[in-house]
Amino acid sequence: MTKYRNALPQLSGGLFLGDAGLETDIIFNKGVDIREFAAHTLLPDPAGREVLANYFREMLALAKSTGAGFVLDCPTWKAHMHWAKDLAATEEEMRQANIDSVAFVAGLRDEFSTNEQPIIINALIGPRGDAYAPEVDIAVAEAEKYHAQQIGWLAETDIDMVSALTFTQADEAIGAVRAATAVGLPIVVSFTVETDGKLPAGQSLGDAIQQVDAATDNATAYFMVNCAHPEHFSGVIDAGAWTRRIHGLRCNASRLSHAELDECEVLDDGNPVELAQQYLKLKARMPWLNVFGGCCGSDLRHVTEIAKVMSA
């Protein structure tokens, strides 16, 4: 049963953690291959499922020890039809992957029912295409129709919210927000940016957030930035009202560009302590930030350091 769909706890403040770079951690640190970078493909295999479960258990235990809430992600980022051919999956298999992913995560929430702070079940929605280098521009109506399929599957489960993660285009984000709003699901939009602080298509972060809000009557619960190092976008954070719409960060541990990361054959895990201090500096400039996790190259070490400085 959904717990928080009608009132997301993180909107009322308090510290909330998220997980880290799930795929990079499992592939590079744990030595487990993830087919086509699609984490949901681990679930049917008992060994893969246990690796995924233990990854989240460590994060949930950290939230418990820190006294923080937790945004618990369903591994559904690539569980949509754009990737069906690569995964040799039918539409029904993709639908079932979403349902199974939610059930898996709901079981973990039950396992950590003694956590004092809320655990929010959040289903991830990835962009239609490469999150590092979008192949085509996607119109709003096309995006709404496309994302409505996966969002529709998820709306029938026990999730509390969805997050459009690593989105590269404002129009596609608008479509996803409209699709979620149509079925009564809270949605968060998390944009990724290049080393110049702009979206891959060249739009500024501020313009993208304002465009999404203007086209959807501020329907997005809040915005985030992910899959970028803090130094890539800290320079574009100004005194504009749009910055107050950003409530979360899931930054890369690596300073590498998306193109460099795409070619990288070894993990660049940066410096966990340094990354946490960079989060703290952004928090000082944006005191309303309250949802923190990691992305490419980060793992439990990074989230632990972030939790340490944010709960101090």
Residue pair 250/295 in contact by the 8 Å Cβ criterion: yes
For 158-196, the pLDDT digits (tens) are 999 999 999 999 999 999 999 999 999 999 999 999 999
For 165-175, the pLDDT digits (tens) are 999 999 999 99
Q: What's 204's DSSP letter? A: B
Token duo for residue 13: 């403040």
Q: Where are the domains of the chain?
A: 17-311
pLDDT at 106: 98
**Dihedral pair phi/psi, residue 126, rounded to 5°:** -90, 165
Give the residue carrying structure tokens 């996803």.
176
For 93-118, the pLDDT digits (tens) are 999 999 999 999 999 999 999 999 99
Continuous H helices in 217-271: 230-233, 258-263
Give the residue carrying structure tokens 């300073």.
255
> Which of these, 262, 294, 275, 309, lies nearest to 20 by C-alpha position?
294
Average pLDDT in the 34-49 region? 97
- The answer to whether domain 17-311 has CATH 3.20.20.330 is yes
Cα→Cα distances 159→179, 184, 185, 231, Å: 15, 12, 9, 33
Q: In angstroms, how far is CA 75 from the centroid of its own chain? A: 10
Average pLDDT in the 23-31 region? 97
pTM for the model: 0.97
**Alpha-carbon distance 49 to 284, whole Å?**
39
Token duo for residue 262: 């795409």
